[in-house]
Every structure is written in structure tokens, then in C-alpha cells.
Chain A
Amino acid sequence: MFSEMFMKLWDNGLIQKGVWETIYMTVLSTAISYCIGLPLGVILNITDKEGIRPLPLFNRILGLVVNFFRSIPFIILMVAMLPVAKLIVGVSLGNKAMIVMLVIAASPYVARMVESSLKEVDAGVIEAAQSMGTNNFQIIWKVLLPEAKPSLITGAVISMVTILGYSAMAATIGGTGLGQIAISYGHQRFNPDVTWCCVFLTVIIVQIIQEVGNRIVRRTDKRHRA
């Protein structure tokens, strides 16, 4: 039923390794992207002209930079950023380099995601906090982020799934994981069952991420506990 290639890959544990590599790249890239994108998103939100610390010119410039990176298709950005990866991690091949690419591509995306989540926080609540003598730093930590938490988590799930998709594309220039197995063993060597197996496993990983995310949101959001 399965091709010889599939059995070989499975017996050698390559598919299992691919699953692990995909998860590892996705999770680590997401984590690092949030370390960069979350503060960026907060800055974008608060320096907006409706924000708590309006700096219109700065906001515009930062917005342009973010949009610049967001508008380059990942596959092109990846190639263009190879020298940057080499500069940061010393290599332009393999998972280390791929994580750098993923972070460069995902951070601006995450920043916009965070910005829009924070925008959902009711302006009245922020005003109430201001009326109590809350300083801007406290508003970020005690009002904006906690109030936007469910939406931030939903955004993180979406970001993670997007990064998972990017990670498969990274296989075209030397990344590993399920994407690489699908391309080099499935597509290029005419073993559709290998490709479909990678698709199936990716779907399962996405489902798990989504389900775990939903559960966390349900548990943390206090708005619908009647």
C-alpha cells in the first residue's frame, strides 16, 4: 500500500524527526518573534494618534518599516536575508538560519497582530484608568495587555500557524522538517504518499495548536463566564 520510499523513511525515523523539527522551528520562531513583535505592537498602539502616548511622526515611520517587511513575499525575503542570517548565526543553511528568516518575516506580522488586539481594548477603560492617576507604563502592564489577553492568545495561534506554513517554505532553500521531506522525497522523487503523509501530519499539528489555543482562550477570558 505504501511505497518503498515511505517505508524506508518511516523505519529510519526520518518522518518522525521531520515532525519534531517542524514543531521545534515553529515554536522557537514564534517565541522569538513575540519577543520582538509584542513590544513593537505595543509601541505601534500607544504612539498612534488615538493612543496613550501619541507620537504621530514616529508612529508613521515605524509603521512604514513594518509594512515594508510585511509586503515582501516570504520566499523572496528568505533569499534576500541569507546574508543577514549568516551575520547573526554564522551560517546561511540549516535550521538555525531558517529560524532567523522566520523571525525576520514573522516579527512585523506579530507586531500588527498585537497592535490590532490592543486596539480592541475599550477606550473608556483606558480613560477610567487614567482618571485614577495610572501612569502609561502601568496602563500597558495592568490594563492594555491583561484586557487584550484573550485576543492576544488568539492572535498568537494564528501567527504560529502562519509561521508553520513559512517553515515548510524554508525547505526550498535548505530548511528541514516536514516541508523538506515532502519536497525532496515526495515531490522530487515521485512518491505522492510521502507528500500526502506530510500534509496529513501538518494538518494534525495545526489542529493541535488551534485546539490548545482555543482552550487557553476559553479558560482565560472572563467575559463569557455567565
Chain B
Amino acid sequence: MIELKSLGKTYHTSEKEIVALEDITLTIRDGEIYGIIGLSGAGKSTLVRCINLLERPTSGQVLIDGKDILSLSRKDLLKLRRSIGMIFQGFNLLEQRSVLQNVTFPLEVSGVNRTESVKRAMELLELVGLSDRTGSYPSQLSGGQKQRVAIARALATNPKYLLCDEATSALDPNTTRSILELLATINKTMGVTIVIITHEMKVIDQICDRVAVLDQSRIAEEGEVSEVFTNPKSAIARELIMPDSHSGEMEHGGRRVRLIFKKEYSQQTLLSQMILDCGCPVNILHANLKELESETYGQMLLELPASERDSEKIISWLKNSPIEWKEVV
């Protein structure tokens, strides 16, 4: 469990003080995938670096498994870092080392013997699907492959936590999806707790269990992803979820319902059916597909017509349909 308690970070420059983080309190539970989202400059990268003390917070506490890590000696801190893997936006592979040597690097520096570290590295490269590229060098790999190597490297020391700093921001949408799938698999099969820093809502949407929205150095909102998505309370969360809509407009719209489809229903047909039956249009605010435990779930957030009569019609139609739904307030 990672606990941040009223964490703050202020940079002092000769002219002024820059507040990067202020009063951050959050708890990341074991086994979950926790997202931290915010616009650039919100302090996300500083925040994630406070977890392994690549940046030292200027106030507050960082507790890992109940232990205050700010009071650790340098030697214990280095040891602790081996139990917290980290991957980066720029991959940060050692360019002069082969794929295999990159993955054995953390084992080498922690004193594991060569035979054992090569064995472990091969297992991990198998897991990330690159066992045929062990002798290649980073410059010969694509972005997605580089991130896979970085993931294998971060997992080499069997960490309990994995920190991802904008790990998919440099990748195209398809590669992003496959990297996120890999992270989800790692979370599920190896029980690694994952912390994801991103500015992209779709990343949070695809794999995170809970999310904290960071705005101007502070946490604006925190909660279950589905909750924050369907019912964002802060202006910044609304902006991140629906970047094109003006948050003002939503206040005047009609009631909102969230629909959840299991894969056996084709959502499009059902939705068209609903619109045809009720004879009134709806506004789709958000829709996505999510794969959980190898089942596909569809989620859709609808805004019903402003007229009470029309929206009642739709609500009663939904009550008689097989769709799981919930009104969002």
C-alpha cells in the first residue's frame, strides 16, 4: 500500500518559489491500477517521483507498506527502489546495451549472478513477447517494442509496485492499447500494483480502477473510474473527459443515464431501437468498450431530452429492456 499524506513539493529558485504539489493525500491499495491524470504542468510527474524519492517532497509523508520512506538511509532507499519498478515516456533504455542486457541491468546492479539474471530476463522477455529480439539493440526497435523492453526491465527485480510516467504518451493508439493490455495482464497475473500517470483519459478509462484528477498542484477529485467518468464533480475532470464540450452546457441538459452492455447485446441495435420506439433523440456524451476478465463491457453515458415527458418515455423503455442502466445525478 502506498500512502501519501499531505504531500507538498516547492522548488526554490533564486527569484521565486514554484509550488509543484500541494497537500496531496491519497492511498493506493495493493493490487489495484491507480491512475493520476492531469494536464501538463499539473504536477503529475513530480508526484510519481515522490513515490520512489527521485524527487524529495518538501512536506508531508510517503508511506510504503506503512513505512515512512523519507527517513530511510541512502542504502535502504536504494534497496526499496528495487521493489518499485518504473517506466517512462521516453523508454530510457541503455542504447549501448542489447535488449537482454537492458533487462539484466537491474539484476546486475543488485548483485544477482549472471546465469540467474539471464534466466529471469528471458522469462520476462517471453512475457512481453520479445524473446526473439534478445540480441537487438534499442535503436533497432519500434516505440512499442522499446516500452515492452522497459517493462521487462522494470519487472526484473520482482517489484511490488510499478510506476508508469506517461508510458504510452509517445505511442500510437494501437500500440498504446497493446501496452495497456500488457500492463493489465501483469497486474492480474503477477499481482503488481500499478500507478499510471497520464494526460489521456482513454488510458485511465481502459485499465484503471481508481483515478485521481490533479489540477494546479492539487487533487481536484478522486474515486472509482466509473464514478468519476459518469459523474465528474470538478470542472477539470469534466474538461478531461469531454474536452470538446463546454462544461456550462451540461448543466442545462436533461437527465443523464449510464448504460452498461454485456457483449451478448449489440448496443447499436438496442440504442437505435430505443430512439425509434420513443421517437426522441438522445445525446451520447461518452461511450467506450472495456475488457474485464476477458468479458467485453460497453459503457455509454446518455443525455436525455430536456423535456420531462420525453425523458420519462426513455426511462420507462429502459426499465423494460435487458440493458443494465443507472441514472446519474
Contacts and interface: CB of A to CB of B under 8 A. Distances in A.
B95 A124 contact: no
Most buried by B among A127, A129, A131, A221: A131
B82 A132 contact: yes
B81 A133 contact: yes
Given A146-B97, A222-B137, A135 B78 contact: yes
A147 B95 contact: yes
A206 to B, nearest CB: 28
A226 B54 CA distance: 34
B80 A133 contact: yes
A222 B84 CA distance: 29
Contacts of B80: 133
A134 B78 CA distance: 7
A138 B138 CA distance: 21
Interface stretch (B103-111, B116-124, B267-275): B103-111
B87 to A, nearest CB: 8
Given A124-B90, A222-B96, A133 B137 contact: no
B88 interface: yes
Interface string A204-226: 00000000000000001111111
B92 A132 contact: no
B193 interface: no
Contact of B92 (A124, A142, A146): A124
A122 interface: yes
Q: Kindly state the interface size class of chain B when it binds its partner.
A: 20 to 34
Nearest to A224: B139
Contacts of B137: 222-223, 225
B79 interface: yes
A133 B90 contact: no
Contacts of B245: none
A154 B247 CA distance: 57
A143 interface: yes
Nearest to A143: B94
B139 A133 contact: no
A133 B95 contact: no
A80 interface: no
B81 A125 contact: no
B95 A223 contact: yes
B256 to A, nearest CB: 42
Contacts of A130: 54, 81
Contacts of B96: 146-147, 149-150, 220-223
Given A125-B92, A222-B96, A223-B95, A132 B139 contact: no
A128 interface: yes
Interface of A: 122, 124-125, 127-135, 138, 142-143, 146-147, 149-150, 220-226
Given A131-B85, A147-B94, A221-B96, 16 more contacts: A122-B92, A124-B90, A127-B54, A128-B86, A128-B88, A131-B84, A131-B86, A132-B81, A133-B78, A133-B110, A135-B78, A135-B109, A138-B109, A146-B97, A222-B97, A224-B139
